[in-house]
Copies of this chain bind each other. A is one copy, B any other.
Amino acid sequence: MTAKWGVGLEKKIFLKCRECGREYPPVRLYACEDCFGPLEVVYDLDSLSLRRSSFEGKPKNLWRYFELLPINDKANIVNLEAGYTILHKSSRLAEMLGLKNLYIKDDTVNPTYSFKDRPTSVAVSKALEFGVQAVGCASTGNLACATAAHAAKAGLPCYVFVPSDIEMNKIVQISVYGARIVAIKGTYDDANTLAAQACETYGWALVNINMRPYYVEGSKTLAFEVCEQLNWEPPDHVIVPTASGALLCAIAKGFEELHRLGLISRNDVRISSAQPAGCAPIVSAFKAGSLEVTPIEHPETIAKSLAIGDPADGVYALKTIRESGGVGEDATDEEISEGVQLLAKTEGVFAEPAGGVVIAALKKMVEQGDIQPDERVVCYITGNGLKTPEAVSEILAQPTEIEPRMDSLKNIIDLKGGEG
């Protein structure tokens, strides 16, 4: 059993198959050799003597939890200062919805403006630790920007696999960091498949493919931070925007690790999932009381970052929601736009549509009695709205044009009741 920790490594971690339980040392492996199940990083938590005070004075980014991340040598850390983002006490939105204790975990202010900077920072660091010569990913959105930026900081070549029909603005954002875009004449699935083959052929570390076990570890810091920011008193309920299900499972893992370390006194956070109605395989399964997740063949939603029809971690996410006492809720495109606007108007946070999904789901959960008024609720807002203005442009009022004269201004202001 000793070998599983890896030889000569300071940090005691190993990989474990989530399906059959087979254990492996922490090598470059991402699927079980026996059953092809996904691998997960396990830490020797008993050997860590972490106290709440251990984190005082630590850097204000996700690397403050170094002991709980799968990197052995701090010299390998690729740090753009992702993480330790703001937890807004959201009193105005809370009041509007009839809640008493609502928080927004604002991951729109990460270095490339989404939570993807967290797993990417870990995956690119691990790639350096493995001595890999190039990194990359298959993605058309937030992940591509995060990977390209961290590769730039690391000084590593970066290959981003995308379908060739993606928007010009995305190409700009990815390539300004110096990443090489491999534009595939085909679908996103084609890009993904070719990317997986390229890992084998060139030995590249593609963060969401062959680095996946390490990659997902970055996301659990969203659980760590919320607990620490609430003075180590875990919230009662969290709402997680859900695509592949990996983020939701990572957050659950985060709470569990803190509990096993004794840093939080209870592990009873209700973990709920929010999905767009046009692509809600996990939420639909929850509502139907099913144990299976039926893939959606043609996702149709303005929340493109959640449009994964066949979620890799869907069954695990479903189990986590049920066992934690959480619920699942979905939101139509119209509700998503309204959710984005409601959050911006009340709290000054402009989220991507995935954030609108969360706020719309929150609203429904409160209305349906799934959330009690005095529950301490945290909404995870995982990406910013700047890249997707079209998601709200249709429902916003058009500005009234006036001549540059006071009488024209008075006409439109006084009609409104003359605020001020």
Contact = CB atoms under 8 A, between A and B. Distances in A.
A418 interface: yes
Nearest to A205: B420
B194 A405 contact: yes
A236 interface: no
A176 B392 CA distance: 7
A150 interface: yes
A357 to B, nearest CB: 16
B406 A201 contact: yes
A418 B183 contact: no
Given A198-B409, A389-B172, A419-B134, A402 B183 contact: yes
A305 to B, nearest CB: 15
Grouping DSSP codes into helix (H, G, I), strand (E, B) and loop, the A interface class, with mixed when no group exceeds half, is: mixed
A191 to B, nearest CB: 7
Contact of A399 (B111, B171, B176): B171
A185 B403 contact: yes
A290 interface: no
Interface string A324-351: 0000000000000000110011111110
A148 B183 CA distance: 38
Interface stretch (A24-32, A152-160, A245-253): A152-160
A186 B404 CA distance: 7
A5 to B, nearest CB: 28
A202 B387 CA distance: 35
A58 interface: no
Contacts of A148: 348
Contacts of A171: 396, 399
Nearest to A395: B176
Interface stretch (A9-17, A45-53, A80-88, A217-225): A80-88
A204 B392 CA distance: 28
A110 interface: yes
Contacts of A155: 92
Given A81-B86, A81-B88, A176 B420 contact: no
Number of copies: 2
Contacts of A80: 88, 348-349
A387 B386 CA distance: 7
Contact of A347 (B152, B185, B340, B387): B152
A265 interface: no
B190 A404 contact: yes
B177 A344 contact: yes
Given A172-B392, A392-B172, A399-B181, A112 B350 contact: yes
A368 interface: no
A288 to B, nearest CB: 35
Given A171-B399, A182-B399, A185-B404, A153 B348 contact: yes
Interface in A161-205: 162, 164, 168-169, 171-173, 175-178, 180-186, 190-191, 193-194, 197-198, 201-204
Interface of A: 60, 80-81, 86, 88, 92, 106, 109-113, 132-134, 145, 148-153, 155, 157, 162, 164, 168-169, 171-173, 175-178, 180-186, 190-191, 193-194, 197-198, 201-204, 340-341, 344-350, 384-387, 389, 392-393, 396-397, 399-406, 409-410, 412-413, 418-420
8 contacts: A81-B86, A152-B346, A152-B347, A172-B392, A182-B399, A185-B401, A186-B404, A198-B406
